[in-house]
Amino acid sequence: MHIPDNYLSPSSCLVMAAAAAPAVIYSATSVTKKILKEKITLIGIGAAFSFLGMMLNIPLPGGTTGHAVGGTLIALLAGPEAACISLTMALILQALLFGDGGILSIGANCLNMAVILPFTGYYTAKLISSMIKTPHGDMIGAAIGSYIGINAAALCAAIEFGIQPYLFHNPSGQALYCPYGLDVSIPMMMAGHLTLFGAAEAVFTSSMLAFIKKTSPEAISSESPKINYVPFAGIIALLIAIAPIGLLAEGTAWGEWSTEELAKKTGLSYTPEGMLNGFEWHAMIPDYSAGGLGDTAGYYLSAIIGAAVLIGLFKAISALIKPEIKF
């Protein structure tokens, strides 16, 4: 679901960024006002969960892959605004440091995964858990909410891909950016997300939530300032340990191909002009691979750096927030 550079036109990227910006700004101000200072670290941990969850690629027949995002999980732990900030930071880090997702398309990726996913997932989960009056109602709500959240995000990404050839093409009718229309992009994106990736998100969210509820219930409460971070450290260590599982999935997710791959995999007779002469970003650790160290070591390094940077970043932010004194 990470839209690379040059799949969307620069003007589309600008529009998406403008659409995502109010939600991100509102979330940032809301988080600094509403959330307890002590809970900011929890947002960093949520961002690390999401970052590591996105590294665990799941293969689908046909050579495509996908992954869980964990946006609804963070929203249920710290609120949808916190999830929005958390995922925005994770997506920016992925794009800048690891080249996962484009730089120009950060706005579009944030709109899909950091705004639409957590808000849709959170409110759906809340609605369903209020309707199901059983002890496991919140777990069922979390599973369904996360499933709907990731599918809503995937649908938005598919629409963003699909409208490109209608809006941007040359006089001979060749697309300048993403060459697939809505008739191709929606079924291709949704096939994976309605089945395996949606199920993976639901399982990831509900299992993590059940574990956290059992081991650190104060993390879910909005008023408890003291949180036991040991279970979270355990989950992060486990996710880092299993991160190289993502390497087992061969192939690239739909819509995330490089220019060379696009021609080879899709059999397209031409390479869109915008992709041929588009913007290129050289990430420090591209595709979570550290060259001579091997893929597995590269994956481990990326997982450690990504998780540590996100947790450290939110800890530093919590230090900058001045505690509100009520007289």
Partner 1 sequence: MNLHECHKPKRDSRRFITATLKSISSASSLFRSNPKAYSPADAPVMLFISIALIIMTASSKNLYFSFVMLSVLSVRMCLLEGKDIIKAFLTALYAGIFSAIILIPSVFCGSPHSLISISLKTFITTGIIQCLSISSRWNDITASLKMFAISDLIIMSFDLTLKNIQILCSTCEDMLNALLVRSIGKNREKAASLSGISGTAFLKSKKMSEETGQAMECRCFSGHYERKIQLRHKAGNIISIILFSLIAAIFIYLEFRIS
Which of 133, 226, 320, 326 touches partner 1 (CB under 8 A)? Answer: 320
Nearer to partner 1, 196 or 301 (CB): 301
Query: Residue 171 burial (CB < 10 Å; 0-12/13-18/19+)?
Result: exposed
Count of residues of this chain found to bind partner 1 when the rule CB under 8 A is applied:
18
Stretch that binds partner 1, among 122-130, 136-144, 209-217, 318-326 (CB under 8 A): 318-326
CA 236/CA 310 separation, integer angstroms: 12
54, 59, 62, 64 alpha-carbon torsion, rounded to 10°:
10
Question: What is the smallest separation between the CB atom of 323 and partner 1, expressed in angstroms?
Answer: 12
Query: Residue 130 burial (CB < 10 Å; 0-12/13-18/19+)?
Result: exposed
Q: Does 263 bind partner 1 (CB under 8 A)?
A: no
Q: Does 316 bind partner 1 (CB under 8 A)?
A: yes
Which of 132, 210, 220, 290 touches partner 1 (CB under 8 A)? Answer: 290
Q: Does 132 bind partner 1 (CB under 8 A)?
A: no
The amino acid at 141: G
Q: Does 308 bind partner 1 (CB under 8 A)?
A: yes
User: How open is the CA angle 47-51-56, to the nearest 5 degrees?
Assistant: 145
Question: What is the smallest separation between the CB atom of 301 and partner 1, expressed in angstroms?
Answer: 5
Q: Does 319 bind partner 1 (CB under 8 A)?
A: yes
Stretch that binds partner 1, among 137-145, 247-255, 269-277, 313-321 (CB under 8 A): 313-321
Q: Residues in the chain, how many?
A: 327
Q: Does 309 bind partner 1 (CB under 8 A)?
A: yes
Question: What is the smallest separation between the CB atom of 313 and partner 1, expressed in angstroms?
Answer: 8
CA 167/CA 218 separation, integer angstroms: 50
Listing DSSP states for 171-196 in one string gives TTS-BSS----HHHHHHHHHHHIIII
Question: What is the smallest separation between the CB atom of 54 and partner 1, expressed in angstroms?
Answer: 18
Q: Does 317 bind partner 1 (CB under 8 A)?
A: yes
Question: What is the smallest separation between the CB atom of 153 and partner 1, expressed in angstroms?
Answer: 28
Using alpha carbons, select from 38, 40, 49, 44 the residue that is nearest to residue 72. Answer: 49
Stretch that binds partner 1, among 167-175, 183-191, 263-271, 291-299 (CB under 8 A): 291-299
Q: Does 285 bind partner 1 (CB under 8 A)?
A: yes
Using alpha carbons, select from 79, 70, 287, 300 the residue that is nearest to residue 197. Answer: 70
Which of 135, 173, 292, 323 touches partner 1 (CB under 8 A)? Answer: 292
Q: Does 237 bind partner 1 (CB under 8 A)?
A: no
Question: What is the smallest separation between the CB atom of 51 and partner 1, expressed in angstroms?
Answer: 13
- State the residue for tokens 């990326």: 302
Residues 6+ apart with CB under 8 A from 322: none
Instruction: Retrieve residue 87's tokens.
Output: 């995922």
Question: What is the smallest separation between the CB atom of 293 and partner 1, expressed in angstroms?
Answer: 5
Query: Residue 91 burial (CB < 10 Å; 0-12/13-18/19+)?
Result: buried
Strand-pair partners of 104: none
Binding residues for partner 1, rule: CB under 8 A, are 285, 290-293, 301, 304-305, 308-309, 311-312, 315-320
